[in-house]
Chains A and B, each alone.
Chain A
Amino acid sequence: MTLEPTPSQTIGPYFGHALPHPAGGRIAPTGHPDTVTVHGRVLDGCGAPVDDALLEFWQPAPDGSRTGAPGSLRRDPVDGTAVGRDGVAFTGFGRVATGADGGYVVRTLRPGGVPYLSVCVFARGLLGNLFTRAYLSQAADPLLSSLDARRRATLIAVPERTGVHRFDVRLRGDGEHEETVFLAFR
């Protein structure tokens, strides 16, 4: 049996009271000494910040396990308010809405076994989600090595200082800047 998939529709501008959650970008356990910060902006084809995008991150734990863990968006059992993570478990999942400057920040731990964070981009004006990857190192990787230097550079989360990387997402090239490589999976 092969069923036809349900079509995707734009996330629209009004997801902000439903999807983002407290500490959504704080994937690393609280105070973990090996925390890495990945931050950047989402930009459109005019170079303008996209202030209503939602970014999701998924990655293996530092030990390489890909099972994840529940608890990314814990609720208070009494009043149901979102309280976010417990600061101990590593769930591997992050979710952040961009701010007025198109910016986002995630704090996480380096994934085990692969050099990248998987990124899923949603925004008003996109009919569906886009997948990309933020590479924290340029270690040998089949996807990186399949791309020319200019395209490859869009997937590199550039080290700014120790433990801090910058990763911008350009939804569309503007002639001067290359657009981010977006992925499809077989």
Chain B
Amino acid sequence: MPEPYRGALSRQPQRPLVVVDDPEAVELTGPVFGAADVTAIDSDLTRQHPGQPLGQRITVSGRVVDRTGRPVHGQLVEIWQANAAGRYAHRRDQHHAPLDPNFTGAGRCLTDDQGHYRFTTIRPGAYPWGEHSNSWRPAHIHFSLFGTAFTQRLVTQMYFPGDPLLPLDPIWCGVPDADRQRLVAAYDPELSVPGRALGYRWDIVLDGGPR
């Protein structure tokens, strides 16, 4: 078990959070998004360029709910990820792996009435990072989510089942034991598309909503 990732010390507040206990706080409401913000193909990361990206095509789908189990509907889900070789289409990523001209690795969609989201993409590759010598991030997809309240804002990462890098990853291991597995998707044959894509299911629970 690696030393858990605690982030950059110089960027972390030292003082305790100040609790706002105000039913009129603006943060108990939040922004809304709609059809104008998302086009249909935004959820298919394999169709953003003239050619097909390299790698294993996958679908990633699940439900976004609040802590009472109510679906979060019509809200924005955004993802970003490395390509199959483990390289981000980002200037600061200097990993010596090829960029894929047919893959940008960014997508978005709105949740449906039942809180479901769905993406088609490729399985991202693992990539090295500088936490310690020979450290590799397990394959992961970054997720950004909105609830009905600004306080529900969540940015997190989804992992793949059975990845041997998981127990060696300081970032995954930085999450308490009991919660860690909830960042790992499940292989779900129901979500696989015959002859085309492997399916993964990952459900998300947003915290901090209005009470």
Tell me which residues across on chain A come within 8 A of B29, comparing CB atoms: 58, 66-68
B142 touches A45 (CB 8 A): no
Residue of B nearest to A130 (CB): B13
B39 touches A70 (CB 8 A): no
Min CB–CB distance B204 → chain A (angstroms): 5
A19 touches B157 (CB 8 A): no
Place the interface of chain A in its size category. 35 or more
Compute how far the CA of A7 lies from the CA of B144 in the bound complex, rounded to whole angstroms. Answer: 12
Within 8 A of A (CB), among B1-46: 5-15, 17-22, 25-39, 41-42
**Cβ 8 A contact of B183, one of A1, A9, A173:** A9
**Cβ 8 A contact of B19, one of A69, A70, A116, A186:** A186
Compute how far the CA of A129 lies from the CA of B67 in the bound complex, rounded to whole angstroms. Answer: 19
Min CB–CB distance B172 → chain A (angstroms): 8
Segment touching A, from B85-93, B111-119, B192-200: B85-93
Tell me which residues across on chain B come within 8 A of A80, comparing CB atoms: 39, 41-42, 48
**Cβ 8 A contact of A5, one of B20, B28, B39, B207:** B207
A7 touches B27 (CB 8 A): no
B18 touches A9 (CB 8 A): no
Compute how far the CA of A4 lies from the CA of B176 in the bound complex, rounded to whole angstroms. Answer: 12
Tell me which residues across on chain A come within 8 A of B151, comparing CB atoms: 131, 185
Residue of B nearest to A127 (CB): B7
Q: B126 at interface (Cβ–Cβ under 8 A)?
A: no
Min CB–CB distance A72 → chain B (angstroms): 7
Tell me which residues across on chain A come within 8 A of B66, comparing CB atoms: 3
Within 8 A of A (CB), among B137-162: 142, 144, 150-151, 153-157
Compute how far the CA of A77 lies from the CA of B40 in the bound complex, rounded to whole angstroms. Answer: 9
Q: B134 at interface (Cβ–Cβ under 8 A)?
A: no
Asked whether A184 and B18 contact (CB < 8 A) given A70-B32, A171-B13, the answer is: yes
Compute how far the CA of A181 lies from the CA of B13 in the bound complex, rounded to whole angstroms. Answer: 9
Residue of B nearest to A48 (CB): B10
Compute how far the CA of A69 lies from the CA of B175 in the bound complex, rounded to whole angstroms. Answer: 35
Compute how far the CA of A186 lies from the CA of B28 in the bound complex, rounded to whole angstroms. Answer: 9
A184 touches B69 (CB 8 A): no
Compute how far the CA of A130 lies from the CA of B36 in the bound complex, rounded to whole angstroms. Answer: 28
Compute how far the CA of A3 lies from the CA of B41 in the bound complex, rounded to whole angstroms. Answer: 32
Q: B190 at interface (Cβ–Cβ under 8 A)?
A: no
B30 touches A6 (CB 8 A): no
Q: B186 at interface (Cβ–Cβ under 8 A)?
A: no
Tell me which residues across on chain B come within 8 A of A4, comparing CB atoms: 67, 179, 182, 205
Residues of chain B having any CB pair with chain A under 8 Å: 5-15, 17-22, 25-39, 41-42, 48, 65-69, 78-80, 82, 88-90, 92-93, 104-107, 142, 144, 150-151, 153-157, 171, 174-176, 179-180, 182-183, 204-208
Beyond known contacts A126-B11, A183-B18: 12 more, CB 8 A cutoff: A11-B142, A16-B90, A17-B88, A18-B80, A58-B30, A70-B32, A120-B153, A125-B7, A129-B155, A131-B150, A171-B12, A181-B18
6 closest residue pairs by CB, A with B: A125-B8, A70-B34, A5-B207, A18-B80, A93-B31, A18-B106
